[in-house]
Amino acid sequence: MSTGYPDLDALLARLEAVPALGSAELEAEEIAVLGRKSGALTAALKRVATLPVDERKGFGAAVNRLKTRFEAAFAARREALEAERQAREQAGVDLTMPGRERWVGAEHPVTRVVDEIIGIFRGIGFTVAVGPEVETEWYNFLALNFPPEHPAMDLHDTLYLDAAPVEEEPGGRLLLRTHTSPVQIRTLMQSPPPVRVVIPGMVYRSDAFDASHSPAFHQIEGLAVDEGISFVDLKATLIHFARRFFGPATKTRFRPSFFPFTEPSAEMDVECQLCHGSGCPACKGTGWMEILGCGMVHPAVLENCGLDAERYTGWAFGMGPHRIAMLRYGIPDIRLLLEGDMRFLERVGRP
Ligand code: 2NL
């Protein structure tokens, strides 16, 4: 129904739209149309005084009629919205209730440690390799120069599969790998040196689940094999790693050790991350924390992979990212890293 005035007719579309407004929109529209300061109809009413005398009465009346229609439409819509709200309330739905906050998750500290370690080695030319978690005795032990009677191969330490051996003995029995070294053996057998790889993954041992042990845990190993590689390369690379990972001023030390697959072998310590060398309960007063084992690849291991040990040499290391995460974040119990309790991740994980 036309008002008889084109500039007032322009508001009719807005009048028709009122019954579809939501409550916030309704409030805004009331102000936009009827508001004392800048409402569209208020402005039209103010214009009345500027018109020639004979036009004032007719226009003023049209504005007032339109104003009455708007007021009625707003009131009707407000009532309808209130009725809807009451109906919802009676049905037990409260749309004003705050939503449940959804936790988007966090990066696990072990994942973060593994990613950072891999990143540091990638930065100096290493690639990443992965391999099977079910292995044979040959790849897991014998190729690595474990003597056939080594206690690590015992049922008490290693989880064997209840399955037929893949080959006749020796070395054909199936097991859950106890370290990621078999992937290094596979890498050396498949691609000739130069080899520079890091290998992250889960490993398994027949251990009790207590504050410092778990039957399943992560390991990350590295291997460099080429012509002319020496212990100097091992030390320089691992010291570089420690400084990148723990900070540029980090002190390191190497102690002699023993592994069947390396000769000579060593363990690397970094200054205690909690007391910075002065001695505390975490480092048992020594000021040092062991972070990895390493050594020059035993010539027998190279020969087992079909390589000429007179021509090639190499070094390798292995470390446990759980231990490193515990040292770095001061986590007292390995089970906190493995149980998947979201309350722990909410506190320690990186969002
Ligand atoms: C440790 C010690 C180590 C290796 C792992 C390795 C692999 C091949 C040849 C020679 Cl194929 N060595 N790996 C070497 C030294 C130490 O791990 O304490 N891990 C948690």
Q: Give start and end residues of each alpha helix (H) in 141-228.
A: 181-190
Q: Whose C-alpha lies nearest to ligand 1, atom 15?
A: 294
Candidate from 294, 298, 305, 326 with most ligand 1 atoms within 8 A of CB, to mutate: 294
Residue pair 178/157 in contact (Cβ under 8 Å)? The answer is: yes
Return the pLDDT at 210.
Answer: 83
Which residue has better confidence, 128 or 172?
Answer: 128
Q: Whose C-alpha lies nearest to ligand 1, atom 8?
A: 181
Candidate from 117, 141, 179 with most ligand 1 atoms within 8 A of CB, to mutate: 179
Return the pLDDT at 100.
Answer: 86
CA 56 – CA 260 distance, rounded (Å): 107
- Residues 61-107 have pLDDT tens digits of 999 999 999 999 999 999 999 999 888 888 888 878 888 888 888 89
Residue pair 196/278 in contact (Cβ under 8 Å)? The answer is: no
How remote is the CA of residue 297 from the centroid of ligand 1, in Å?
8
- Residues 174-185 have pLDDT tens digits of 999 999 999 999
Return the pLDDT at 104.
Answer: 82
- Residues 184-225 have pLDDT tens digits of 999 999 999 999 999 999 999 988 888 778 899 999 999 999
How remote is the CA of residue 315 from the centroid of ligand 1, in Å?
9
Placement of tokens 């008002």 in the chain: 3
Give residue 4's pLDDT band: very low, low, confident or very high (50, 70, 90).
Answer: confident
Range picked from 7-11, 55-59, 131-135 for highest mean pLDDT:
131-135
How remote is the CA of residue 125 from the centroid of ligand 1, in Å?
19
Ligand 1: residues with CB < 6 A are 181, 184-185, 219, 221, 223, 259, 261-262, 293-295, 297, 301, 316-320
Per-residue tokens: 272: 């205690």
Pair type for strands 195-204 and 127-128: parallel
pLDDT over 90 at 148, yes or no: no
Return the pLDDT at 98.
Answer: 87
Return the pLDDT at 153.
Answer: 75
pTM of the full structure: 0.72
DSSP string over 232-301: HHHHHHHHHHHHHHH-TT--EEEEEEEETTEEEEEEEEEE-TTTTTS--GGGTTSSEEEEEEEEEEPHHH
Q: Counting every residue, how long is the chain?
A: 351
- Residues 245-276 have pLDDT tens digits of 999 999 999 999 999 999 999 999 999 888 88
pLDDT over 80 at 1, yes or no: no
Mean pLDDT of the region 304-320: 97
- Residues 17-64 have pLDDT tens digits of 999 999 999 999 999 999 999 899 999 889 888 999 998 999 999 999
CA distances from 93 to 21, 26, 84, 101 (A): 21, 22, 11, 18
Return the pLDDT at 169.
Answer: 65
Q: Whose C-alpha lies nearest to ligand 1, atom 6?
A: 316
How remote is the CA of residue 208 from the centroid of ligand 1, in Å?
23
pLDDT over 80 at 235, yes or no: yes
CA 67 – CA 73 distance, rounded (Å): 10
Q: Whose C-alpha lies nearest to ligand 1, atom 12?
A: 316
Put the strands of the sheet holding 127-128 in their side by side order. 127-128, 195-204, 216-227, 312-319, 288-297, 262-271, 252-259
Return the pLDDT at 67.
Answer: 94
Which residue has better confidence, 104 or 228?
Answer: 228
pLDDT over 80 at 154, yes or no: no
Residue pair 65/113 in contact (Cβ under 8 Å)? The answer is: no
